[in-house]
Structures are given as structure tokens and as C-alpha cells.
Amino acid sequence: MEKSDPNPFSVSTDSSLQRGAYADHAVLLRRSFLFRVIDIQEPFTGRLTYSGWRFRQIVEIDGRSCWFRISWLKIHSKFDFTLPTSIAVEPSWGDIENRTVSVEIGFSRGLTIRRFRIWLGGRILYDEIN
């Protein structure tokens, strides 16, 4: 390898954050101010709803509350919760015992959602960039 050759392990300069929703088995059904509805098909089947309206944050899966916080002073941008045992996870996903769902929300000015990501057991399920 010549010294002038590009590093094959470096990050591409063309890999800027492009808008869109990226997921193999999840579809964005609805989005608005502090609100998302995402239909997830794998590794579990369910409709995840995030709402940050009325000074509270809530995550529901198929209408069942999984995570809730009052957000009078602070809107939580990173949080974890355990997927309810009533929701079956496909064994092909890997460690089906790790039912930790992580959500990360990146906000811009005016509290608009700039990035919305969901993981299950450390593997990405959904990634939305605005």
C-alpha cells in the first residue's frame, strides 16, 4: 500500500447525514411535533408510539404504556425500557433474553425532532434523520 493511497478504514467524506427513515423492518406511519408512530415488523410485531405532548413523554407499544416521564423541566433525549414479556421476540434476532429497548432523540431549535433512533438489545431497529 502506497503512502498516497486512501485509508480503506476511514470514514467517507460523502457519508453526510441524509434525510430519511432507515430501517429494514420498520415503517414511519405518522410524524408531527414531538410525536412519532412507527410500525415494527421484526424482531417483534407492534406499533410504537412516542409522544412528548402536554409536558409528558410516553412510549406505547400497541397502546400499552412502556415508558413514561413528566417533562416539566427537562425533555429526556435518551432513555431505556424493558420490552413487555407479552411481546414475542423472534429467536433469529440474537439474544432474545435482552429485551432492553433504547430510544435516542436528537432535538434541534424549537424542539423539533432532528434524529429519532430505536434499538433492541443493542441492535438498531429504526433510524430517522430530519
Whole-number Å distance between alpha carbons of 90 and 121: 12
Name the more confident of 8 and 25.
25
Overall average pLDDT of the 73-81 stretch? 94
Summarize pLDDT for 12-22 with one digit per residue, the tens: 444 456 788 78
pTM: 0.82
Domains parsed from the chain with CATH numbers: 22-129 (2.40.128.180)
Name the more confident of 73 and 129.
129
Overall average pLDDT of the 63-86 stretch? 94
Is residue 115 packed enough to be buried (19+ CB in 10 Å), middle (13-18) or exposed (0-12)? middle
Cell output for 102: 433504547
